[in-house]
Structure 1
Amino acid sequence: MEIIAETDRADVVIIGGGPAGLSAALSLGRARRRVVVVDGGRPRNAPAPHMHGVLGHDGLPPLELLEKGRREVVGYGVRIVPGTATLARVVDGGVEIDTTAGTLRARRLVVATGLADELPDNPGLREQWGRGAVVCPYCDGWEHRDDVIGVIATSPESVRQAQLLRQWSDRVVYFPNAIGEPDPEAADALVRRGIRIEHGTVAAVQIVEDEVTGVEVDGHTVPVDVIFTGPTLRPNDALLRSLGATSSDGPNGSWVDIDADGRTSVPGVWAVGNVVDLRANVSVSLGLGALIAGAVNADLVLADIAAAPAVQ
């Protein structure tokens, strides 16, 4: 496989060109580091027409934010390589990364590959994902204030989502879907706050003229204006695991371990954003990208000091 820039090893290669990766690239580029971003061009929030709660960019299409970000980082000398990473190795005090565009060599690696949403297998749900079917109350609750909000359960924890959404509307319908049946105490709490419980198995999400109009359950349709649900979150961490990064199991599955600065257990390798933190929305990812970039640059400074020749 061709080696990209064989004679000019990058300071940092960043895998992933979403908000976290580009934010890290911006800070590192401004720090005059040689940075390469490998971008597969498949951001998690691509289906969403707008993003919300991002200061200064509320309502901006998420793809427009990334377009602006790419222009900014390129202006500081950051190189963007279209493609995906397939394998990485720790070699010679740095990292070598095989990508679909060739092989990159770097002193440090930042993985910002995000996660994938695995949705319940209900017809209509995937077709509306990011528009009429969403997950985050803080991202989309305001836009559906006072609407009829349907919550399709994916686990008993979905009761919390229904209770949270009651903050935005007094017309919340909870669909346990034989998966998230509330215990008696939780059911009582739902009813006391006026949240309607529709028992039965969800068959499909009803769509009329590309808008959600209802949920089909046990042979009848319950009218709703929007669906909130909780997908299974699968971090895109195969690259980190292939490097031998340690991980920990929790209530939301297995996630690669990082310290407060985003450092993994693999020397010279950091991770940031949804690949290691399911809570990292756009705003959080932007901040964490800048934070991790500072930690990576500080580590490189220490390496530069150690490599500096002694004064004769």
Structure 2
Amino acid sequence: MGERYDVVVVGGGAAGLSGALALGRARRSVLVVDGGEPRNAPAAEMHNYLGRDGTPPGELLAAGRAEVVGYGGEVVSGEVVSAAREGDGFTVSLADGRTVAARRLLVTTGLVDDLPDVPGLREQWGHGVLHCPYCHGWEVRDQAIGILATSPMSMHQALMWRQWSADVTLFVHGQAEPTDEEWEQLAARGVSVVVGEVTAVESDGDRLTGVRLASGQVVARDALVVAPTFTARSAVLESLGLPVEPVEAMGTVVGHAVPSTPVGSTDVPGVWVAGNVTDLMAQVIGAAAAGLKAGAGINGELIMEETRLAVAARRAASSAEIQVGAPAGAGAR
């Protein structure tokens, strides 16, 4: 931890480990600092990762850490609380007082899913309470699915989840009722609508069983879909002067993220990002791909920096040789 690394990666999820792997294979010194709080920890499996569909998230991370270490990288547990510019690099501060120096930073701290305040909902998150049909739709196919309206996007969710089941119910839950056009669309697709506030999510042990309304009625459901607010874990980036910005989808603000270029560079030179901290909608395979792109971009940037320094050193050496070899009293050209 006392060394100066080419790159410190803040966050050891799919994006961070993928970036570290690319950098390790490029013979860079890399340190990954991981807080141990992966976003997808509640999920039993991850999906749509070609060749690893159905793999438990923890298993993928364990394999990734082993690969990074195999190429000479280091992975340590810890929480990075801030980072600061120091000379031509950065000093990274951990919560336990440790510090480490880096020439470049790759921040892959992910996001937090802020869920509606409905009793029983958080306890079922990642099991009976879901948000992404591409992540979980197949697992609840043909089951009784509820959509908890939390924004205008809930109408879109209801129509989307209808692809996986013919038994879909939209719970309006205090949101604006569907427009005439939306009522027609829902009716045409066979989606039921329940107007009224949802007061609790009912479950039997680990299994979700229904949705309780303010009237006391319980509507039996096997799964409930919600749209969380996605909030980037941005404290480290904000300490470097990179604020979060609102992200919209279909005209609705769905969360906040740190903007970046397509390859992951930011407005602060030397600071790169990848994964959900900058792309709220990225699934695991997309986050891993973004980490690879950022890692390659960082390596390319370091190569150009080292080339500039080598050219400057060569010119200085040539100038010194000329000075040494010049006749007494002669000026060097």
Q: Scaled by the length of structure 1, what TM-score is found? A: 0.95
Aligned to 1:22: 17
SS at structure 1 position matched to 2:305 = helix
Q: Does 1:82 align with 2:54?
A: no
Q: Which amino acid aligns with 1:228?
A: V
Which of 223, 227, 244 is matched with 2:220 structurally?
223
SS at structure 1 position matched to 2:157 = helix
SS at structure 2 position matched to 1:72 = helix
Structure 1 residue runs of 4 or more that deviate by more than 2 Å after TM superposition: 179-184, 246-255
State how 1:225-244 maps to structure 2 within 5 Å.
225-244=222-241
Contact 1:159–1:180 (8 Å) recurs in 2 = no
Q: Does 1:310 align with 2:322?
A: no
Which of 263, 278, 286 is matched with 2:288 structurally?
286
Q: Which amino acid aligns with 2:309?
A: A
Aligned residues: 307
Unaligned runs of 5+ in 2: 248-252, 319-333
Q: Which amino acid aligns with 2:219?
A: V
Which of 22, 30, 54 is matched with 1:35 structurally?
30
Q: Does 1:170 align with 2:166?
A: yes
Contact 1:112–1:273 (8 Å) recurs in 2 = yes
Contact 1:156–1:182 (8 Å) recurs in 2 = no
Q: Which amino acid aligns with 1:38?
A: V
Q: Which amino acid aligns with 1:286?
A: A
Q: Does 1:132 align with 2:133?
A: no
Unaligned runs of 5+ in 1: none
Question: How many angstroms does 1:179 deviate by?
Answer: 2.5
SS at structure 2 position matched to 1:277 = coil
CA offset digits 1:120-172 (Å, max 9, x no partner): 11111111111111111001001111111111111121111111111111111
Between the aligned partners of 2:91 and 2:79, the Cα distance in structure 1 is 14
State how 1:45-64 maps to structure 2 within 5 Å.
45-64=40-59
CA offset digits 1:182-222 (Å, max 9, x no partner): 22222221121100001100011110132011111131011
Q: Scaled by the length of structure 2, what TM-score is found? A: 0.89
Between the aligned partners of 2:280 and 2:92, the Cα distance in structure 1 is 25
Q: How much is the aligned-residue C-alpha RMSD, in angstroms? A: 1.3
State how 1:152-231 maps to structure 2 within 5 Å.
152-179=148-175, 181-217=177-213, 218-231=215-228
Between the aligned partners of 1:12 and 1:66, the Cα distance in structure 2 is 19
Structure 1 pair 24/35, CA: closer, same or farther in 2 (3 Å)? Answer: same
Between the aligned partners of 2:68 and 2:143, the Cα distance in structure 1 is 40
SS at structure 2 position matched to 1:310 = helix
Contact 1:15–1:111 (8 Å) recurs in 2 = yes
Contact 1:85–1:99 (8 Å) recurs in 2 = yes
Question: How many angstroms does 1:253 deviate by?
Answer: 3.9
Q: Which has the larger radius of gyration?
A: 2
Between the aligned partners of 2:136 and 2:258, the Cα distance in structure 1 is 28
Which of 118, 143, 162 is matched with 1:122 structurally?
118
Aligned to 2:63: 68
SS at structure 2 position matched to 1:304 = helix
| Stretch of structure 1 that moved more, 15-24 or 181-190 | 181-190
Q: Does 1:259 align with 2:255?
A: no
Contact 1:246–1:265 (8 Å) recurs in 2 = no
Q: Which amino acid aligns with 1:310?
A: R
Contact 2:231–2:257 (8 Å) recurs in 1 = no
Aligned to 2:298: 296
Between the aligned partners of 2:224 and 2:121, the Cα distance in structure 1 is 8
Structure 1 pair 211/32, CA: closer, same or farther in 2 (3 Å)? Answer: same
SS at structure 1 position matched to 2:84 = strand
Between the aligned partners of 1:257 and 1:133, the Cα distance in structure 2 is 29
Q: Which amino acid aligns with 2:89?
A: G
Which of 270, 274, 277 is matched with 2:276 structurally?
274
